Structure 1
Amino acid sequence: MRALLEIILMALQLYVYLIVASAILSWLVAFNVVNTRSNVVRSIWNFLDAVTEPALRPIRNILPNLGGVDISPVILILLIIFIQKLIQDYLLPVAF
């Protein structure tokens, strides 16, 4: 049981890294630092969008329109940190 919880914690941490990478890439695209016509950039962009968008879309639907500011990645990261803390504090000490 403990090994399964450790894998879940690692997967959640990896997902946080993917959310941060997606946010950074979106800034780089918005400021024309990277060329989206490049096959490598486009494939990375499609992968990160496919992985993070299903979790970010419901949060974006709930949040009010803040103009050009998207705080949904921050809210999702805080939610993931909360879930990780719950697992570490309540489930891991009890797991055999």
Structure 2
Amino acid sequence: MQSLLMIVNLVLNVVWFFVIAHVIMSWLISFQVLNTRQQFVAQIWYGLNRILQPIYDPIRRILPPMGGFDLAPLLVLLAIMALRIVISNNIGYMY
């Protein structure tokens, strides 16, 4: 059971880095540092959107419209942090 919790923690870490990369890329695209007409940038952006869209969509349906602010990544990061805390606190009970 401890191995399963460690695998879940690893997956949460990977999702954490994907969300952070998505947020940073969205800022860089918004400030025109990156251009989505470049094929490499467009492929990374499309891939991150395809991975994270199923996670963001249920949260975006619950949140009210914020006038251009997307708080879905923030809530995903908070949920990941909460799950990692729960896993780390309960992994010692699996011996």
Same fold (TM > 0.5): yes
Q: Give the distance between the partners of 2:60 and 2:16, measured in 1 at CA.
A: 17
Q: Determine what percentage of the aligned residue pairs are the same residue.
A: 35
State whether structure 2 residue 72 is matched by structure 1 residue 72.
yes
Q: How many residue pairs get matched?
A: 95
In the alignment, the residues of structure 1 paired with residue 13 and residue 62 of structure 2 have an alpha-carbon distance, to the nearest angstrom, of 24
Gaps of 5+ in 1: none
Cα distance in 2, alignment partners of residues 66 and 35 from structure 1: 26
Matched, 1:60 2:60: yes
| 1:3-36 alpha-carbon deviations (Å, 9 max, x no partner) | 2211110110110110010011111111111111
2:14 is the alignment partner of 1:31: no
Partner SS for 1:78: helix
Amino acid aligned to 2:26: S
- The corresponding residue for 1:42 is 42
Where structure 2 has 5 or more consecutive residues not aligned to the other structure, the ranges are none
The residue type paired with residue 85 of structure 2 is K
Aligned CA-pair RMSD: 1.0
